[in-house]
Structure 1
Amino acid sequence: MKAIVAPVKNVIATQNAFDSLYNRSYGVPGIGLIHGPTGFGKTTSVAYLFNQVNGVLVRARANDTSSSLLGRIVSELGAQPMSRNARMVDYIIEQMSMYERPLFIDEADYLMGDIKLLESIRDLYDATEVPVVLIGMDQIAKRISSRKQFFNRISEWVEFRPADLDDVIVMADCMLAGGIRAEAELLEQLRQAACGEMRRITIGLAQIEKLARANDLDVVTLEHWGDQPFHGLRRQVA
């Protein structure tokens, strides 16, 4: 399998949303929210994007305080965490502004229960106006709507949706190595078995490639695959 991020619809929507944040008109707020169920590829898409734009990516945690979260951001910016929150905020603002480094926060659901955490992130955005992107689960959009001061600063919303057949075909074309191809009917069966989850589709594609290599197949069909599962033990083609 090739180590590549396939340009499926969710990935393209993420890129387009960030481009809109980065190139927004004067007065348009610059915070984005990416949300959806686990397994749909949010973290992978954002990791790919933040590497392209020299961003800063941190993951919120259940027991975070303002100090611990700010400290991890400082660490990602290449410095040692400081004893006072105000000093860390000043340092982060300076680095984000000077180098135009957007901030990405994964598992942002953990911010919703602590107004101090949200206010810390809002302070960073207000002082720099460099894009900030939050990544969370499917309920975060509803939860964040009650935080009006933060909610009003979000101009880009991306909801990650289950992969359709076109997405799975794109993934297979990009990720299967050695010229191996998979028949569309087999890919549709994989999509249905995975309920459109990118993570499970990736695992299934790896198993399809494994079967192809074990049996010297250039094209894997539904007949080759049979009724075996895409996860768990499999048999080889006789």
Structure 2
Amino acid sequence: MKNVVAPVKNVVAAQDAFDNLCNRSLGVPGIGLIHGETGYGKTTAVTYLFNQVNGIYVRALSADTPSSLLGRVMGELGAQPMARTARMVDYILEHMSMYERPLFIDEADYLMDDVKLLETVRDLYDCTEVPVVLIGMDQIARRISTRRQFFNRISEWVEFKPADLEDVQIAADAMLDDGIGIDVDLLDELRRQAKGEMRTIAIGLDKIERLAKANELDCVTLAHWGSQPFKNNR
């Protein structure tokens, strides 16, 4: 399969939201939130985004402190963590501002239980006004609403939803090698079994493509596929 990010609805929505953050009007806050259940393609979409803009990408961890999170940001900037948190903040602020590098924080749910972590991220935004994008699970939107100072700085909200049949078709058209097609009934069965999860859909498309190549098929149908699973379960 082709190594591309398919322009499904979730990806397009994330791109539009990020463009809005970068081109926002004076006075509009520049923090965005991308949230949804696992498997819907959040990390893939965000990886695509930050690669396009030379962004800074880190994952929050359950044991994070402001110092450990800032240390990983330093690493993404090509620098060694420093002993003093304040010095790391100054270094990061300088580089975010000078090079206008947006900050993307995945697994941002882990920030919600630590006020100091949230305040550290808020400081990075307030002092630079460079876009900050948080990526979290489906409950993060509710949890973050209780942190009013942070909540009020979010201007773009994107909820990743299950892929529909049109998304599966878009993914197939973008990802499959040229000359290989999939009948709509098989695409819909893939959508149904995957429950809209893009991760599972990608696995299924890869398996279908392998079947097509092994049997020299131009178009794979539901009859060709049979009852085999799209994803092997242990």
TM class by shorter chain equals over 0.9
Q: What is the TM-score with the length of structure 2 in the denominator?
A: 0.98
For residues 134 and 215 of structure 1, what CA distance do their matches in structure 2 show?
44
The match for 1:144 is 144
Q: What's the counterpart of residue 198 of structure 1?
A: 198
Gaps of 5+ in 1: 234-238
TM-score, structure 1 as length reference = 0.97
CA distance in 2, matches of 1:125, 1:7: 29
Cα distance in structure 2, aligned partners of 1:180 and 1:18: 33
The CA deviation at 1:178 is 4.0
1:94 corresponds to: 94
Q: Where does 1:76-95 land on structure 2 (aligned, <5 Å)?
A: 76-95=76-95
Aligned residue runs from structure 1 range 1-238, under 5 A: 1-232=1-232
Partner Cα distance (1:151, 1:12) in 2: 24
**1:236 maps to what in 2?**
none
In the alignment, structure 2 segments of 5+ residues that lack a partner are: none
Consecutive aligned runs of 4 or more in structure 1 exceeding 3 Å deviation: none
Residue identity opposite 2:92 in structure 1: I
Q: Deviations over 1:80-99 (max 9, x none)?
A: 11110000000000000000
| Alignment coverage as a number of residue pairs | 233
Secondary structure (helix, strand or coil) at the match of 2:162 reads: coil
Whole-Å separation in 2 of the counterparts to 1:74 and 1:231 = 38
Shift of 1:232: 2.7
Distance 2:223 2:64 in 1: 51
Q: 1:221 is matched by which residue type in structure 2?
A: T
How far apart are residue 206 of structure 1 and its match? 0.7
In structure 2, the residue corresponding to 1:161 is in which secondary structure? coil
Q: Which amino acid aligns with 1:96?
A: M
Task: State the distance in 2 between where 1:48 and 1:229 align.
Answer: 29
Identity %: 73
Displacement of 1:46 in angstroms is 0.1
Provide the alpha-carbon RMSD of the alignment.
0.9
Deviations 1:148-178 (A, max 9, x none): 0000000000000000111000100111114
